[in-house]
Amino acid sequence: MPKIGMEPIRRKALTDAAIEAIGARGTMDVTMSDIAGRAGVSPALAHHYFGSKHQLIIESVRALLRDLRQDAEQALKNARTSRARISAVIAVSFSDKQFSDEVVAAWLAFYVDAQRAPEIRRLLSIYARRLHSNLMSGLSPLAGESDAERIAEGAAAMIDGLYIRKALGTGPARYDAVALVEDHIETQLLEIRGRTV
């Protein structure tokens, strides 16, 4: 008989294990047995909770998005200025948790799988819209709507590109990644200030 209250714990263990397994392999080519073994449960229990590997993968992407959203909300709550909001979004994107090797490799695998999995593509578009919105919340008061859109797109492209480079083993360290995106933002804001003087 299953223990009461264990389902949420086991579901989280399975989504964490899926991210770990996919990140370790750098591909979606993992089995429910691989994932269940990492989570310390039987493959039958993994199937019971999620039905299929595909459903477990989708829930794993959702789990990553929830973590990222919660981290961003907390960081933005503590940001006192518009410029601090931008820095908070950048810092969260490259936090130890988000920019770990296995999480970055898992994100890359999810992006590749999104080419043929509409549900994963939909979840990744939610991520992109949320990142854009969070960046705009700090940029719009400083740069105006049009310039803020352009700067936010550039910053988001840099963040995604730095994740890809990290997954390929050619990217900068976490602090250097933050500095590169911050430099992009500051250069763009300085240019706008120069135009208005």
Give 77-109 pLDDT, tens digit per residue.
999 999 999 999 999 999 998 898 888 888 888
Residue 145 pLDDT more than 50?
yes
Average pLDDT over residues 147-154: 96
Burial of residue 86, with CB atoms counted within 10 A of its CB: 0-12 exposed, 13-18 middle, 19 or more buried? buried
* pLDDT of res. 186: 96
**What pLDDT score does 197 carry?**
54
List, in sequence order, every beta strand (DSSP E) within 54-180: none
Q: CA-to-CA distance for 65 and 195, rounded, in angstroms?
A: 38
pLDDT of residue 1: 44
Burial 150-175, CB ≥16 within 10 A → b, else e: ebbebbbebbbebbeebbeeebeebe
Q: Give the residue extent of every domain in the chain.
A: 58-196
Confidence of residue 174 (pLDDT cuts 50, 70, 90): confident
Report pTM.
0.86
Per-residue pLDDT of 158-170, as tens digits, reads 999 999 999 888 8
Region 160-185: what's the mean pLDDT? 91
User: What is the model's pLDDT at position 3?
Assistant: 62
Question: Mean pLDDT, the chain, as a whole number?
Answer: 90
Exposed/middle/buried for residue 181 (C-beta within 10 Å: 0-12, 13-18, 19+): buried
CATH superfamily, domain 58-196, is Tetracycline Repressor, domain 2 (1.10.357.10)
Give yes or no for a contact between 70 and 97, defined as CB atoms under 8 angstroms apart. no
